[in-house]
Structure 1
Amino acid sequence: MSNNDSATAAKAPKKRTRRTQERTEITRAKVLEAATRIFSEQGFEGVSIRDIENAAGVQRGLVAYHFDDKDNLWKTVVDATFGLMRDEFTHRQEIMKELTERDRLAFVVRFYVRFHAKHPELSRLMSQEARQHSWRIDYLTDNHIRPAAQLMEKLVKETQGLDRDQFIHWYYIMVSASSTIFSFAPECELLFGVDSRTEIRVEKHADMLVDMLFGKMK
């Protein structure tokens, strides 16, 4: 075998490995995208693994191959969605260092509005799970919701002077108001003939929510 033949033979397994990795990544991405949409629309109990495979357009058995079972797939969806929020927020933390505490809190509220506008599946997923006790709401609360809520409570106490009982109501007002118009986008379009997720509409919503929660910001 010539040197050229040897080099070609050595490259072939690498190419096959790279193609296999690419196919694996594409399949996982398809499954995660489909599972995120279906879990948020129909809830965990209303969805089967076969439903997800059909929606993703992948062969039977690939969900189990890549994610073991429906429970683990659901956790992966949740971790990926909240991980995206955490990553986007982290990229903006340098901006927050230059702000007063009150403006920092307003910045966080605006971030929530903008994120929910881009990812309405998050609030839809939460509305599916937060209505009843289950291992899933325990997982969501322990791993994602409580840490963020505790940080927000600290900011609200420092800037607004609210106690724990007052913060509970403030928190749910903020969470609901920052997301409902986007998760209910089809209803908004039917009622008012507008797309709630346009950039102008999102910014108007963020401005109004900040004004409602804090009064006119100077």
Structure 2
Amino acid sequence: MRSHAEFALAPAPGRSRQNRGSEVVRAALLEAAIGEFASRGFAGASGRRIATEAGAHQSQINYHFGSTNELWKAALLFLLDELDQAIAEQLAQLESNEQADQFAAMVRGFVHFASRRPELSRIMMHEGAAPSERLAWFVETQLAHRHRQLLAAWTNLRNSGIAAEVDPDVLYHSMIGAGSLLYANGPEAELLGIQPTDYDLTERHAQSLIALLLPGRNKDF
């Protein structure tokens, strides 16, 4: 039995690949690329496998994205947009303007995103292991400003006595690891009897991470 995603992205019976709408093909290539880059990294990725998974022709990668390198960047931007939306949804539910509550909402949004989309962490595990033009692009255009904002908020929370005594130099990677490794290493977790796709587990995970990072907050979220 095919999944809903597979059903949605497959060509309709009797309909050729060439007749599929341009945006449908682009979306299918993007989703297939996310899975390919997450499982094999950029170096091990195959344009042919991506196209086959998307039900498209390999030449359509260049048509829609220009190159496999640009497809990788588009995949990262797509996932980061989903992450930003997940955090924005949590922030929109707040009735408080307190920075600690906003930080907690950000953490909760990230953990829930990581549970739904472990591919982002898996892609960055591959890419972050060695210098590359892609990694430099990611840090310069996407990560650096997020990192600065995170550290500014953390400094304020530490100065107010709310945040844990975590060194700012290790904060980002500590949060990313603590918030996403369970899902990025989902098969390992399942062998330990843990179900990383369970919503209640993800909620408990988020609450636990918030409690560790913000011991002075003393609020339920």
TM-score when scaled to structure 1? 0.82
- Report the AA paired with residue 159 of structure 1: L
Q: Is the 8 A contact 2:115 2:180 kept in 1?
A: yes
Within the candidate set 37, 41, 44, 1:43 is matched to 41
Match of 1:212 in 2: 212
> In 2, distance between residues paired with 1:143 and 1:110?
24
Mapping of 1:107-118 within 5 angstroms? 107-118=105-116
Match of 1:133 in 2: 131
- Report the AA paired with residue 177 of structure 1: A
Aligned residues: 196
Match of 1:194 in 2: 194
> In 1, distance between residues paired with 2:82 and 2:196?
22
Q: Secondary structure at the match of 1:205?
A: helix
* Cα drift, residue 71 of structure 1: 1.0
Give deviations 1:160-213, integer Å, cap 9, x for gaps.
Answer: 138xx921212211110000001111111111x231121100011011111122
* Cα drift, residue 21 of structure 1: 9.1
Q: Secondary structure at the match of 2:21?
A: helix
* Cα drift, residue 47 of structure 1: 1.2
Mapping of 1:162-181 within 5 angstroms? 166-181=167-182
Mapping of 1:136-147 within 5 angstroms? 136-147=134-145
Give deviations 1:17-53, integer Å, cap 9, x for gaps.
Answer: xxx9961111111110110010111011111221211
> In 2, distance between residues paired with 1:177 and 1:53?
34
Give deviations 1:79-98, integer Å, cap 9, x for gaps.
Answer: 11112222333344444572
Match of 1:159 in 2: 157
> In 1, distance between residues paired with 2:62 and 2:172?
38
* Cα drift, residue 104 of structure 1: 1.7
- Report the AA paired with residue 203 of structure 2: E
> In 1, distance between residues paired with 2:172 and 2:67?
34
Higher helix proportion (structure 1 or 2): 1
TM-score when scaled to structure 2? 0.81
> In 2, distance between residues paired with 1:195 and 1:88?
21
More displaced stretch, 87-96 vs 146-155:
87-96
Match of 1:10 in 2: none
Aligned-residue sequence identity (percent) comes to 27
Looking at CA atoms only, which structure, 1 or 2, has the larger radius of gyration?
1
- State yes or no: 1:105 paired with 2:106: no
Let me know the Cα RMSD of the aligned residues. 2.1
Match of 2:121 in 1: 123
- Report the AA paired with residue 176 of structure 1: G
- Report the AA paired with residue 170 of structure 2: H
Q: Secondary structure at the match of 1:66?
A: helix
> In 1, distance between residues paired with 2:55 and 2:101?
46
Q: Secondary structure at the match of 1:44?
A: helix
- Report the AA paired with residue 49 of structure 1: G
> In 1, distance between residues paired with 2:119 and 2:100?
29
Mapping of 1:6-85 within 5 angstroms? 23-85=21-83
